[in-house]
Amino acid sequence: MLNISNYILVKKDCLWQDWFTNSWEKQFIKTIEDFTSQLFTKSVFYADSVKDVNSTREVTHEQVKQASEIITRSFNKNQKTKLQIIWQISEYILTGIAGIWWWNLDKQWGILALVISMALAVILISYRLSTSNKE
């Protein structure tokens, strides 16, 4: 594995001029090193995936750009808000309730409860799926 920190030069005096604290400086440098390491690894991966078997590896501008876009697109991608978590739990609960009401279809309130709980569950699931496709 390549040690990226040997290849990165950060002018720390510039960070202090811009009011970076000591802990912020360390986190800033670590983030740069992590990003650079990922960028290097993914760029090499993309170069290897398109090279001919008998040729040497050549990392191009496009492969570095592609790797950068993949890395930056992954930031905050999997973080759900509290509302999204509550809605997803509600989907499961409403679906479970619909299953319980299924056994009471011989009663008028059972049919009504089944229809309402299924309708709400379908609305919540549809909303979640439609918003997740936009991301």
pLDDT tens sequence across 10-30: 676 666 666 666 677 778 778
Q: For residue 80, what pLDDT is reported?
A: 73
Q: How far is Cα 18 from Cα 70, in angstroms, rounded to an integer?
A: 29
- Domain boundary (42, 74, 106) is at 74
Indicate if 48 and 99 belong to the same structural domain: no
Q: For residue 46, what pLDDT is reported?
A: 87
Indicate if 66 and 24 belong to the same structural domain: yes
Domain total in the chain? 2
The CATH number covering residue 38 comes to 1.10.20
pTM of the model: 0.49
Indicate if 63 and 124 belong to the same structural domain: no
Instruction: Give counts: helices (H), strands (E), the chain.
Output: 5, 0
Structure tokens, 116: 């309402």
Indicate if 24 and 53 belong to the same structural domain: yes
What does 46-77 look like in DSSP terms, one character per residue? HHHHHS-TTSPP---HHHHHHHHHHHHHHTTT
Q: For residue 54, what pLDDT is reported?
A: 81
Length of the chain: 135
Q: For residue 113, what pLDDT is reported?
A: 84
Q: For residue 16, what pLDDT is reported?
A: 62
pLDDT tens sequence across 74-107: 766 666 778 888 888 988 888 888 888 778 788 8
88 SS3 class:
helix
Range of the structural domain that residue 36 is part of: 4-74
Q: For residue 5, what pLDDT is reported?
A: 64
Q: For residue 51, what pLDDT is reported?
A: 79
CA 45 to chain centre: 20
Indicate if 119 and 99 belong to the same structural domain: yes
DSSP 21: -
pLDDT tens sequence across 20-69: 666 777 787 788 888 888 888 888 888 888 877 788 888 889 889 988 88
Asked if the model's pLDDT at residue 70 lies above 60, the reply is yes
